[in-house]
Amino acid sequence: MAHYNITCSCGHTDRVDLYGKGADRERKMAWLETEPCTKCREAASKERQAKEAAEFTTQLKGSEKQVAWALDIRSNAMQSLKKACKPEVLPEVTKTVESISSAAWWIDNRDDIIRAVLKVAIANRA
Confidence of residue 12 (pLDDT cuts 50, 70, 90): very high
**How many other C-beta atoms are found inside a 10 Å radius of the C-beta of residue 116?**
17
Q: pLDDT digits over 59-107, tens only?
A: 889 998 898 889 889 988 888 888 888 888 888 888 888 889 999 999 9
Nearest residue to 37 via CA among 18, 9, 4: 9
The pTM for the full model equals 0.63
Confidence of residue 55 (pLDDT cuts 50, 70, 90): confident
Q: pLDDT digits over 94-124, tens only?
A: 888 888 999 999 999 999 988 998 899 888 8
pLDDT the model gives residue 11: 92
- The answer to whether residue 126 scores a pLDDT higher than 80 is no
Residue 15 pairs with which residues in a beta bridge?
5
Residue pair 46/23 in contact (Cβ under 8 Å)? The answer is: no
Residue pair 101/61 in contact (Cβ under 8 Å)? The answer is: yes
